[in-house]
A and B are shown apart, each in its own frame.
Chain A
Amino acid sequence: MPELVRDTGVSELRFRDPGRARALAAALEQLCAQIGRDTVSVMHVCGSHEQSIAKFGLRTMLPRSLNVIMGPGCPVCVTDVPEVDEAVALALDGKIIATYGDMVRVPGSSRSLADAQAEGARIEILYSAAEAVELARDTTEEVVFFASGFETTAVATAAVVLADPPPNFTVLSAHKYIPPVMEIVAEMPGNRVEGFLAAGHAAAITGSAIFDRFVEHHRIPIVVAGFEPLDILAGLVKLLELIRDGTMTVENMFPRCVTAEGNRNAQAQLWRVFRTVGGNWRGIAHIPNGNLRLRDEFAHLDARRRFAIDVRRLWEYAPATLTQSCICGDIMAGIASPERCPLFGKECTPDAPVGACMVSNEGTCKIWHQYGGHPDL
């Protein structure tokens, strides 16, 4: 990065003023006292939120009764084992697998894509769906784009599917759709999530109105918040106000970036290409309508329909015993925190991850490993 020379004239205190942070923390203290329960649990579903919360030690500023949990906000982490197996099987069959970087190390039933690469498979790490199409244009070999991410990222996949890709390009979709999993984790035994903090940039595409139905059905308020420390604290204040008053609405605290209707052009492309189907999210549960798969109209671009994918040969290897102690699923469901995992920071580290939550920069375990999660007061 070149040194930044731009003088924007906006004080950084606008985002990180300690005085404002203390005032917001005091407001949270007062709201928790007014709510008057031993524990109030709220959940966010965004790796960037957790990075800010952990890095700035926000949990040390929160009232003791306020429990801020990271839910399943890491798309790489929730990619299920059979989905990785499909990609590994295609790679071992000689297809070029193009995918986002973190996906390479996510464990399958016996191997990751990195393992397949070590065995000679061709895995291309890229930054954008558009690069996968370019890769296909430059070769006669089959290029399978192993596509991960929530709806925000699925929009990019939809755009390339609609832009007439070459015949040797296909999509193996592991895209996930966030609203249905919020419904599942909110109702899991052991969870009593009373409010959600929703991620700002994702909502820039979907609009805050995407949550209206959820709030109506589940009577759990949602606040859309930015990812800076003060944005998050202000979002929590608004959320606790809604909880205290029993007001079941969606509030947008990130109007700089998010509107109620979102980006309609992006949504139109998303839903023209994808439909929702039920499927497992790694370690969490079967999530009805939680997976995004290509519609029939695009079957010719769907790797699952173009190729016979035989994943059974990958099951001949016994899974590593360490993975059986991994509690990523409970962590992503908000039932456990990383420090409860016997492997955390010992057998499982960012350099040698056992579970998917230690692979991605958006995974709870990797974030807590970097910054500490719940520092002692």
Chain B
Amino acid sequence: MIVSWNWLKQYIKLDISVDELAHRLTMAGLNHESTSDVEGDIAIDLEVTSNRPDCLGHIGIAREAAAVLGREVTPPKVDFATSRPAAVDLTRVEIACPDLCPRYIARVIRRVKIGPSPDWLRRRLATCRVASINNVVDITNYVLLEASQPLHAFDFDKLTERRIVVRRARAGETINAINQKRYELTADMCVIADASRAVAVAGVMGGFDTEVSDRTTSLLIESAEFDPLAIRRTSRRLGLSSESSYRFIRGVDPAGLDWASRRCCQLIVELAGGEVAEGAASAGPPVAERPGVVLRFAQLKRILGIDIDPAEARSILQRLGLAELRHDAATVEVRPPNWRRDLEREIDLVEEVGRIHGYADVPEDVAVPMTTAPRTPRERVDALIRHTLTAAGFSEAATMSFVDQSLVDAFRPWSADPPLAVDHPSRRHENMLRQTLVPSLLAVRRLNESRGTFESDLFELARVYLPATARPLPHEPRLAALVTGRELGELKGVVENVLDQLHVALSLDVRAADRPEFAPGRGGELHIGDQLFGYIGQASDALVAKFDLRKTCCIAELDVDRLLAAAQLIPQFRPVPHLPASEREISMIFNEAVPWLIVESLVRQAAGAHLESVRFLGLYRGRQIPAGKKNLHFGLTYRAADRTLTREEVDQSQQAAIAKLRSELGGELRGV
């Protein structure tokens, strides 16, 4: 709301500077945005919150300033001569849709002379950045900016049968608006019509055919109240918004319609001449008296934390225009003015008293009691994962939850359901909620490649959105995805480190997964126990090509919630062995098809109770190894809890392991 300093001074005596006023209003809730000089006037831009439509006019701002400064407001006196025939003899108003338009007041002025506005009026409007059209239109805008009540002036003689019908638009009905565009209307929109056609989109924009022109001599002045929700819908649907619709959407003062209508007529008579027909043609019920609201003074301390004297509280409420109905030592009952529709409850009064009193003396050093605040398992797991991955050289990315169809299609390990999508004009393409983080990270990798960084190892920890059939809201598992240019084995090692940091008791099991996203034979499902918790693999050529990556990369994605379930956040002590161990190694040649897992489990079976661990040390192929074979090199640790093992005991276990591998797998010892 742009406020003209000169204009404001018309309603309230201001002997303080503009800056001082702006500051005082800011500290009462009208946030000061800017001040600028405009040809002999000062434009003060104030931010009006959506609960205060009464402050979308100069009188409202003046009332607020008066309450803050303890001054009087003097709204203009409205007085003008009227003539017969009366308005009700000249026109008729009918409301066919009281749910969309509760009240409508029409006044008629004849023999006006349309012309340019006087300088003072043009300047006022210019300060508020409203263009001057002609004297009558300018006056309706002036009253809008004065009383925050939108008005509309029709060329009375152009209204068929010179009457007003407020009704729903008819199917297929169109209107040629003031902006000379044609709009198609629908049945949930409210229109102002005459006997034959729509002449205005109610509360949003007037019609071109009945607008005031240089040849207009008779006027019908509309002052009405419309349903905020209906105006909002119409305004959105038609893509039309105006100073009027802005105010109707926030709500106008139903008791202020008549004042604004008369004020408009007064100014028209003054500036454009004419005769105002006596009275008004109106429709709609009278404005009901508002119920009283009780404030218990004790609530001020209970909510605001400061003592405010009941006398001050009563004075503030009265300054704000609330009529005091009764009071005693503990309470006051007040009736809020009609322009303050936001005041209905006791808590509303608490806020009014608080904000006008000011929050400066609310202490900022009270004793707040201590309480428990344990870190949640989720926080611990997130922190451990981030710690492990950053230590492994992965940088964390944060990418958009929105993706487009091509990213959805790129990689779909978690769901085959169509993705959820938002319905909003600003997101026509990237409108889907992702079901995996991997494609977003591949896109980040491509972006970095395109800027010359080829070695980006990235991870992200975020939610994905999987449609759920049995419940209204989707599943939102949290995933951790990794993308790297390093070898698959290194990436698996990083995943193992994550499990290690979380002290997952069950061992990791990777099962082959032939998915088109992975290179043949180089993709796997990650399991702990029988629980699937993720995927790992090398990107297929197709995937690399799809993202236009220069280099291939390996990817993994883990379900953090499943890891959380398997994590042991408080690891338990195991005695550190203090007796010496015996270390041995085996180097054996096997067929290519023999997996390490089989070798390891056979060793564990055969090597007896003193075998403590088996560690993979290396895999060799090459000149000394026959084709189709590979050499596995691994270490074995033997230890007893209560004594030092003898060389013979260890040799015996070692021979048993070797014999087992020979007989079961045909392994050939290569000597170490």
Q: Do A and B interact?
A: no
